[in-house]
Amino acid sequence: MKRQNKILKDFRKLHLLYEEGAIFTAFDTETTGLSPTNCRIIEIGAIKFSKEGIIQKYSQLFNPQCEIPYFISQLTHINQDMVDCCKTINCHLPDFLEMINNTILIAHNAQFDLNFLNAECEKSGLESTKNKVIDTLQYSKWAFPELEKHKLDFLADYFKIDKGSSHRAFDDAETCRQLFLKCTEIRK
């Protein structure tokens, strides 16, 4: 799979982008497994925002047309009954892509979510995303190198960010947004 997205790594400029009014979309996916080749997205959560505040929210479950493994249900609290009555991702993907159009994407361990999102685009016959991307995993390592861990849950606890329901896409997207804002406060 070709990587179309440019991961932004000049962290010193991110505060400036934010202050100049760039529009961002913090997002997260929940999936049926680890491989975008054989697994599917079962949930996307996203928050589109700028320095002026939240512009739009997105939260959607999808029918993966396969069984959700027990481990994934335990982790995400998304069970088969919850998704069986939902539409497949290809029914909703155009709306999500419209929402994120011309925004800078933000995700924690971004390549995972991007690989799944772009695989679903390909399976749906849609063009892959070309957004610029900020990986808050890398951004937090740059901003807070003294911390022993950089997992999203750990950072949320450390900075007293309300995690909501961890491993649910919308709540993880909001946690990621809050972490991004925390990192943009750092100027090195």
Mind telling me the catalytic residues?
167
For residue 105, the number of C-alpha atoms closer than 13 Å in the C-beta half-sphere is 30
Q: How far apart are CA 116 and CA 111, in angstroms?
A: 9
Task: Kindly provide the residue ranges of all beta strands, DSSP E only, lying in 96-173, ordered along the sequence.
Answer: 104-107, 132-135
Q: Give the residue among 188, 167, 49 at the shortest CA–CA distance from 109.
A: 167
Q: How far apart are CA 14 and CA 181, in angstroms?
A: 10
Q: How far apart are CA 84 and CA 187, in angstroms?
A: 47
Q: How far apart are CA 127 and CA 80, in angstroms?
A: 29
Question: For residue 61, what are its two tokens?
Answer: 């479950």
Q: How far apart are CA 84 and CA 23, in angstroms?
A: 34
